[in-house]
């Protein structure tokens, strides 16, 4: 069956597409859900008339060498043991699980053909909503759905393609919170495994056959389109990595210890007062249209990024940069308003943009520049083509200077937009995809496939609740704090992410030495006390009211079906007497609503792509970045501005850590937002891929050195 065909829904008796899309943009720039972006979920059911939802069945540091396989296996085994204990599984149940896995593997093997399914040759593009239901593809019907109720484990970040500044989308599930909002049924591991396997087999069964691609062209899956190729306006995390490591170059680059190493800037020196930085640049780098790359490109990029009109998400980080000048073609001079303890992080993270193509445009129009869809780069890969909503293709730059690494090993790199978890897994299993984020539900299945390997790694991506502080009830910080204290973050990570994350209420990740260990993150007694103090009293029905009005709010999220995390949040707040209606939108509408001024939502859940410098915290709350891409809350205060400025300008060491802890304490007490967890990446990778290494710098940090073994080679 052609993937773009419409078919009749067997239960609702209405036509719908086999699959719709979504989005990130940007990540989101997951999550991006991380994206950030995003991981697809199994669909839940909405009561469109009442707005109530039931949960449908879901199948659901400085040193960076954290991808330790033994530790991963040990952690995975702990998760499995805990899961079996939680579900009351005995030895017989475990054996049945193993048999189900073996049976599924056999089914997948029988569905494989000599050629892979046609992800790259499909006629359809990603649309705003996914409507095909994997549980029904596997043969389930209404009765089966009624019997399989409860919340299943969901998804962790499936990799960079989904890690954006939007909610992580998880596998859909069915079932719901009990009336007190606290008790959640959990369907068995075996049932989830069976439905997942059925969905994978079905995906393979309906796949068409595409011509085999060359052995040295790697295909990477992204859960959402890349948003843009312009580094000055991009928030989508995979797009930023493509820019940083493939399409463009940065002035410096980080090694595995997060130390600046020469790249386009071959050497540098500081003035005695450490206010002036002079960088000597390579003289043999050209843009892909043949124009030389010079210091003027670097100066243009830095000054444009600093200008708030551009909309660069990390503009506040460049506030201390006074001037950027090209002394000549190969000499860049940067002057700062205050002494600098070290090279700024953005020198290793912001790729250069071509001044000869973009400098003539007003900075406010850069977000819509034609360059964004048809870029001219200067990195190891050359932009070849884009099919909107379907794929981006890049080819090896044969003229990339040897001083910067020389031409890459791969002949080509393709980013395929694949917006559903089972389709991605089917692409990996068939060999059409070489790399894709996978859900934790599929980790065991992937590890049993001799053609695949699983990589897990830390990611700079957190998920948070953002409050509209401009109107009731969240104009009262006591209500915001009550919501924060009511959330059982550990349970959300355990159930919705299968343990692939860390429950945390601070915007600074737990692995970062600047983080602050907050007080007890879940304190229901404190939550009740805060709500009582704010005048929201429980009635006989358990729901809270003030002046006769119920405490009822709307949670805005991204997706087309039920999200495990959304439903757990809904249950946690219901247990405190707060009625929550979940409203899901496609990515564009979500971002428009989140960024609008004035704010018209109550509460939203979003993934936030991080960075090593913590500049995203300023992008969220600094008054100087009001109206920016991450200004979700509209919460800006002079006191918070001064704390953020002190933290970002503090020198390395104890003073810097103390300043950032002060910022985190302030955010914890003011609660314009509250973080839920920081994610961990999970990638399925073909064993044909050589040299892939992933860490906090990103999935693509070593893409220049990746290679592909020939098909059939040992």
pLDDT digits (tens, 9 = 90+) for 288-321: 999 999 999 999 999 999 999 999 988 878 989 9
Whether 187 is in a domain gets the answer yes
d(CA 311, CA 619): 10
Q: Domain ends where: 338, 372, 406?
A: 372
Same domain, 196 and 253: no
Share of the chain above pLDDT 70, in %: 69
When pLDDT is cut at 50, 70 and 90, the band that residue 200 belongs to is low
Q: Are 14 and 577 in contact (CB under 8 A)?
A: no
Let me know whether 654 and 514 are in one domain.
yes
Q: Judge if 602 and 674 occupy the same domain.
A: yes
SS (H, E, C) 567-618: HHHHHHHHCCCCEEEEEEECHHHHHHHHHCCCCCCCEEEEEEECCCCCHHHH
How far is Cα 601 from Cα 309, in angstroms, rounded to an integer? 25
- Asked if 184 and 278 sit in the same domain, the reply is no
* pLDDT grade for 627, boundaries at 50, 70 and 90: confident
Q: Which tokens hold the place of 208?
A: 């068409």
Cα(168)–Cα(99) distance, integer angstroms: 31
Residues 495 and 558 placed together within one structural domain of the fold: yes
pLDDT value at residue 287:
99
* pLDDT at 399 > cutoff 50: yes
How many angstroms separate the most distant Cα atoms in the chain? 76
Which residues make beta-bridge pairs with 268?
279
Residue 185 domain flag: yes
Note whether residue 409 is domain-resident.
no
| CA–CA separation, 263 and 257 (whole Å) | 16
Our count of domains for the chain comes to 3
Q: Using the predicted structure, report yes or no on whether residue 509 has a pLDDT greater than 80.
A: yes
Neighbours of 398 (CB within 10 A): 11
- Identify the three-state secondary structure at position 141: coil
Q: Higher confidence at residue 151 or residue 202?
A: 202
pLDDT digits (tens, 9 = 90+) for 28-78: 333 333 333 333 333 333 433 333 333 333 333 434 444 344 444 545 554
- Which of 163, 162, 161, 309 is closest to 232 using CA atoms? 309
In-domain check, residue 713: no
- Same domain for 621 and 531, yes or no, is yes
pLDDT range class, residue 711, cuts 50, 70, 90: confident
Question: Which residue, 327, 349, 372, sits at the end of a domain?
Answer: 372
Strand partners, 601: none
| pLDDT of 498 strictly over 90 | no
Q: The domain that contains 543 carries what CATH number?
A: 3.10.105.10
Within-domain flag for 686: no
Q: Please give the DSSP secondary-structure letter assigned to residue 390.
A: T
Instruction: Find the CATH number of the domain harbouring 338.
Output: 3.90.76.10
Question: Strand 260-262 relative to strand 252-254: parallel, antiparallel, unpaired?
Answer: antiparallel
Question: 188 with 269, same domain?
Answer: no
The reported pLDDT for the residue numbered 32 is 36
Contact between 49 and 449 under an 8 Å Cβ cutoff? The reply is no
* Residue at which a domain ends, from 323, 354, 372: 372
Arithmetic mean of pLDDT over the chain: 77
Sign, CA dihedral 584-621-699-318, equals positive
Structural domain includes residue 557: yes
User: What tokens does 502 get?
Assistant: 């860390």
Residue 553 has pLDDT above 80, yes or no: yes
Judge whether 58 and 173 are in contact, CB under 8 Å.
yes
Length of the chain: 714
Q: Do residues 99 and 199 both lie within one domain?
A: yes
Domain identity same for 257 and 190: no
How would you classify the pairing of strands 276-281 and 321-328? unpaired
In 88-162, DSSP assigns E strands to none
Give alpha helix (H) positions in 431-561. Answer: 443-447, 477-486, 489-496, 524-533
Summarised one tens digit per residue, pLDDT across range 660-709 is 999 999 999 999 999 999 988 899 999 999 999 998 888 999 999 999 99
Q: Quick one: 176 and 273 in the same domain?
A: no
The C-alpha atoms of residue 385 and residue 397 are separated, in whole angstroms, by 14
Output 438 or 579, whichever has higher pLDDT. 579
601 within domain boundaries: yes
Mean pLDDT over 368-397 rounds to 96
Its domain, for residue 602, covers 459-680
Check whether residue 207 and residue 321 sit in a common domain. Answer: no
CA separation for the pair 320, 378 (Å, rounded): 28
Task: Judge whether 563 lies within some domain.
Answer: yes
The answer to which of 154-168, 324-338, 473-487, 495-509 has the lowest mean pLDDT is: 154-168
Region 244-266 average pLDDT: 95
Are both 282 and 181 inside the same structural domain? no
């Amino acid at each position: 069956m052609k993937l773009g065909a419409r078919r009749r829904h067997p239960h609702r008796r209405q036509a719908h597409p086999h699959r719709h899309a979504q989005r990130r943009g940007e990540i989101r720039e997951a999550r991006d859900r991380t994206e950030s972006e995003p991981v697809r979920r199994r669909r839940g059911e909405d009561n469109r008339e009442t707005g109530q939802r039931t949960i449908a069945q879901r199948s659901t540091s400085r040193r960076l060498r954290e991808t330790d396989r033994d530790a991963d296996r040990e952690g995975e085994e702990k998760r499995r043991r805990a899961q079996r204990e939680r579900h009351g599984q005995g030895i017989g149940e475990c054996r049945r699980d193993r048999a189900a896995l073996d049976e599924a593997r056999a089914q997948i093997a029988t569905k494989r053909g000599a050629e892979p399914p046609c992800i790259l040759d499909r006629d359809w593009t990603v649309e705003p909503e996914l409507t095909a239901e994997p549980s029904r593809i596997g043969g389930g019907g209404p009765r089966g759905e009624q019997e399989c109720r409860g919340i299943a484990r969901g998804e962790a970040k499936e990799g960079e393609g989904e890690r954006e500044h939007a909610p992580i989308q998880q596998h859909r599930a069915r079932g719901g919170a009990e009336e007190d909002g606290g008790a959640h049924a959990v369907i068995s591991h075996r049932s989830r495994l069976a439905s997942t396997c059925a969905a994978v087999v079905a995906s393979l069964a309906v796949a068409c056959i595409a011509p085999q691609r060359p052995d040295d062209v790697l295909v990477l899956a992204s859960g959402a389109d890349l948003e843009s190729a312009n580094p000055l306006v991009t928030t989508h995390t995979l797009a930023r990595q493509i820019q940083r490591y493939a399409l463009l170059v940065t002035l410096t680059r980080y090694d595995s210890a997060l130390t600046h190493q020469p790249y386009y800037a071959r050497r540098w020196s500081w003035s005695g007062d450490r206010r002036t930085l002079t960088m000597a640049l390579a003289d043999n780098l050209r843009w892909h249209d043949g124009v030389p790359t010079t210091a003027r490109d670097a100066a243009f990029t830095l000054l444009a990024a600093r200008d708030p009109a551009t909309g660069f998400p990390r503009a506040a980080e460049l506030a201390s940069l006074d001037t950027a000048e090209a002394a000549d073609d190969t000499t860049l001079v940067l002057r700062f308003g205050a002494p600098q303890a070290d090279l700024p992080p953005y020198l290793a993270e912001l790729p250069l943009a071509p001044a000869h193509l973009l400098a003539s445009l007003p900075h406010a129009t850069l977000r819509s520049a034609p360059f964004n869809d048809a870029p001219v780069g200067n990195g190891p890969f050359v932009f070849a083509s884009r099919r909107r909503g379907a794929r981006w293709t890049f080819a090896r730059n044969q003229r990339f200077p040897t001083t910067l690494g020389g031409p890459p090993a791969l002949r080509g790199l393709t980013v395929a937009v694949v917006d559903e978890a089972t389709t991605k897994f089917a692409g990996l299993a068939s060999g059409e995809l070489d790399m894709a984020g996978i859900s934790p539900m599929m980790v065991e299945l992937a590890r049993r496939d001799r053609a695949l390997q699983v990589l897990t790694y830390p990611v700079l991506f957190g998920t948070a609740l953002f409050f509209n502080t401009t109107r009731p009830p969240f104009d009262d910080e006591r209500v915001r704090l009550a919501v924060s204290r009511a959330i059982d973050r550990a349970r959300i990570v355990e159930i919705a992410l299968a343990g692939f994350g860390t429950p945390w209420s601070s915007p600074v990740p737990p692995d970062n030495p600047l983080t602050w260990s907050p007080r007890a993150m879940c304190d229901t007694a404190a939550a009740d006390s805060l709500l009582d103090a704010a005048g929201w009293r429980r009635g006989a029905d358990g729901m809270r009211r003030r002046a006769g009005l119920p405490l009822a709010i709307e949670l805005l999220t991204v997706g087309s079906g039920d999200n495990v995390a959304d439903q757990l949040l809904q249950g946690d707040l219901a247990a405190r007497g707060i009625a929550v209606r979940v409203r899901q939108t496609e990515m564009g509408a979500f971002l428009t609503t989140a960024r609008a001024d004035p704010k018209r939502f109550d509460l939203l859940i979003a993934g936030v792509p991080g960075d090593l410098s913590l500049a995203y915290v300023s992008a969220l709350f600094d008054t100087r970045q009001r109206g920016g891409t991450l200004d979700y809350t509209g919460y800006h205060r002079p006191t918070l501005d001064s704390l953020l400025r002190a933290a970002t300008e503090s020198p390395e060491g104890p003073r810097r850590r103390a300043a950032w802890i002060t910022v985190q304490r302030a955010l914890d007490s003011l609660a314009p937002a509250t973080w839920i967890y920081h994610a961990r990446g999970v990638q399925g990778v073909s064993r044909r891929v050589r040299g892939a290494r992933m860490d906090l710098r990103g999935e693509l940090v070593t893409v220049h050195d990746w290679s592909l073994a020939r098909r059939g080679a040992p």
